Structure 1
Amino acid sequence: MGYQLVPVPRLSLDAFAAMTGLHPELVRRLIVLGIVEPTRDANGQWCFDRSQVRAVARMQRLRSSFALNYSALGLVMDLLDRIDALESERRTERTSQPS
């Protein structure tokens, strides 16, 4: 008995913009700044993974909480991701060490 993999639908630029509440031009700006990272479909159009919706929600929370411009948001989000990775690595090291 096997399992069939079901492809996860990806979002077009317009669908992504509607889902996040952002104007498509702002989404394009976020792509240039590296805050959102779409891929290209077979037709060369941008398509977005649903995890990118979470990234935009995070960006919007940071922007409203700290009044950061979009360029600074990219840096802050990158630093937060690095901190998460380091903390995860440290937790892994602690659990793998013998008592």
Structure 2
Amino acid sequence: MSVAAQLSGLHPQTLRQYDRLGLVSPDRTAGRGRRYSARDIERLRQVQQLSQDEGINLAGLKHIIELEDQVAALQSRVAELDAALERATAAFVQREATVRASYRRDLVPYQEAQENSALVEWRPRPRPPA
């Protein structure tokens, strides 16, 4: 904790208070000591900057952090959905190529006809019973 206090420029008691308020959530060691990550230290610096320079109170800071976490989660979800869309598109293109390769060559694609033309369906006559 003392290293985190030095790196963030905050008093250890302030770190405990921020932990209690949920502004930062460090991992815990087996002995229940706090273990701050580089991300936690960066968040502590951000909290300190917003608190001291911008004059935002702790409740406002908590709300800002919750919103930033929500944005990060949504960005992650968008990235997941983009990847899923890319996979689905690739699968569709592959399936379309497979279907096109299986077309019967005796079929002629229908094109929109001009004004005085008609489409006629040809059906073979049934064979008489033998």
Shared topology, TM-score over 0.5? yes
Correspondence for 2:37: 49
CA distance in 1, matches of 2:53, 2:83: 34
1:16 to 4, 28, 39: 4
Correspondence for 2:69: 81
The Cα shift of 1:65 comes to 5.8
Identity over the aligned pairs, expressed in percent?
24
Larger Rg: 2
Is the partner of 2:51 in helix, strand or coil? helix
Correspondence for 1:35: 23
Correspondence for 2:51: 63
The Cα shift of 1:64 comes to 4.8
Is the partner of 1:68 in helix, strand or coil? coil
Summarize the Cα distance change of 1:94–1:70 in structure 2 as closer, same or farther, 3 Å threshold: same
Structure 1 runs not aligned, ≥5 long: 1-12
User: Which consecutive aligned stretches of 4+ in structure 1 deviate over 4 angstroms post-superposition?
Assistant: none
CA distance in 1, matches of 2:81, 2:30: 42
Structure 2 runs not aligned, ≥5 long: 91-130
1:94 to 63, 75, 82: 82
One-letter identity of the residue aligned with 1:29:
Q
CA distance in 2, matches of 1:92, 1:39: 26
One-letter identity of the residue aligned with 1:47:
R
**Deviations 1:38-92 (Å, cap 9, x if unpaired)?**
2332333222223211211232343356421112211211111111211231233
The TM-score, its normalising length taken from structure 1, stands at 0.70
Q: Report the aligned-residue RMSD.
A: 2.2
